[in-house]
Copies of this chain bind each other. A is one copy, B any other.
Amino acid sequence: MASEWDTHTSLTATGDGLFGAELDPGWVVGGGVNGGYLLGLIGKAIAETVPAKPHPLAVSAYYLSASTPGPAQVSTRVLREGGSVATVAAELGQEGATRITALATYGDLRAMPTDVGTTATEPTIPPIEECVPGTMAPEEVRRIAPLMERFDLRFDPACVGWAMGAPSGNGHIQAWFRMADGHEVDPVGLLMVCDALPPVTFDLGRPGWAPTLELTVHVRAVPAAGWLKVSHRTRNVAGGMFEEDCEVWDSAGRLVAQSRQLAMQPRG
């Protein structure tokens, strides 16, 4: 059976690197469609464009305008393909307006060397059954964020004070993550996972919408099956903007994705 993710990101190739897509309303959050979902769609179109290099190594997306549910188009253009990697430019548009423009380098993670010299520390999150499920979010939150129904999220209790009006002030949110339908996340899906959690500014007591200017994801390994650990931090809230770093660790203890975004601080 197709996963919900595969259904929501299905593309119709119309030739010359052009794809039709239908942005599913299930990915709405606040006034727009989740940027991670859109990046996943773009990522899938790129994978179909360079099938011998099926995995994103690095993807950078610049968000130009908010997307709405409904028809969208993805265009891809191969800038260079040779050796073990391909670099591709891509755009997602709606009604003639570019929503997102992106650059990406793709390769085959299964063909990469197998060395692992990671010195980053795996996030410590309490056992899943001691964490706070996303389904405990108030009805009014879930109504404006149907996005949350796509995931099975279990938040570290130390990082969800914001949900009870008592943010930690650390600028840190972390959670266990899997898809709500139990399907596994593949390397393209990791592009979405890096933008799935609430903005880390929630943990600073600033619950508003934080529009992303730029998001770059590095996918470093094919994730092992099972729960993922997702950790977001900010360390430089300044000048009306903030950076948000995300790490995704798989069930084998491997750092499978690293991302950083630059976003505007929520107003008010």
Report A's interface with B, CB cutoff 8 A: 57-58, 60, 62, 64-65, 79-80, 85, 87, 89, 98, 101-105, 109, 112-120, 171, 204, 213-214, 216, 218, 220-221, 234-241, 243, 254-255, 258, 260, 262, 265
Contact B103 A101 (CB under 8 A): yes
Contact A262 B57 (CB under 8 A): yes
Contact B220 A103 (CB under 8 A): no
Contact B216 A216 (CB under 8 A): yes
Smallest Cβ distance from A169 to chain B, in angstroms? 9
Contact A109 B239 (CB under 8 A): yes
Chain B residues within 8 Å of A109, by CB: 239
Q: Which of B79, B112, B118, B120 interacts with A64 by CB under 8 Å? A: B79
Instruction: Considering the complex, give the chain B residue whose CB is closest to the CB of A221.
Output: B239
Give A115 to B206 CA distance when docked, in angstroms: 14
Contact B62 A87 (CB under 8 A): yes
Give A237 to B64 CA distance when docked, in angstroms: 33
Q: Which of B58, B80, B216, B255 interacts with A236 by CB under 8 Å? A: B255
Contact A216 B62 (CB under 8 A): no
Contact B117 A238 (CB under 8 A): yes
Smallest Cβ distance from A82 to chain B, in angstroms? 9
Contact B57 A60 (CB under 8 A): no
Give A57 to B101 CA distance when docked, in angstroms: 16
Contact B62 A239 (CB under 8 A): no
Interface centre among A85, A112, A115, A218 (most CB of B within 10 A): A218
Instruction: Considering the complex, give the chain B residue whose CB is closest to the CB of A85.
Output: B213
Give A243 to B258 CA distance when docked, in angstroms: 9
Contact B116 A238 (CB under 8 A): yes
Known A-B contacts A112-B240, A171-B119; A105 and B213 likewise in contact (beta carbons under 8 Å): yes
Give A116 to B239 CA distance when docked, in angstroms: 6
Chain B residues within 8 Å of A79, by CB: 62, 64, 98, 101
Give A112 to B113 CA distance when docked, in angstroms: 44
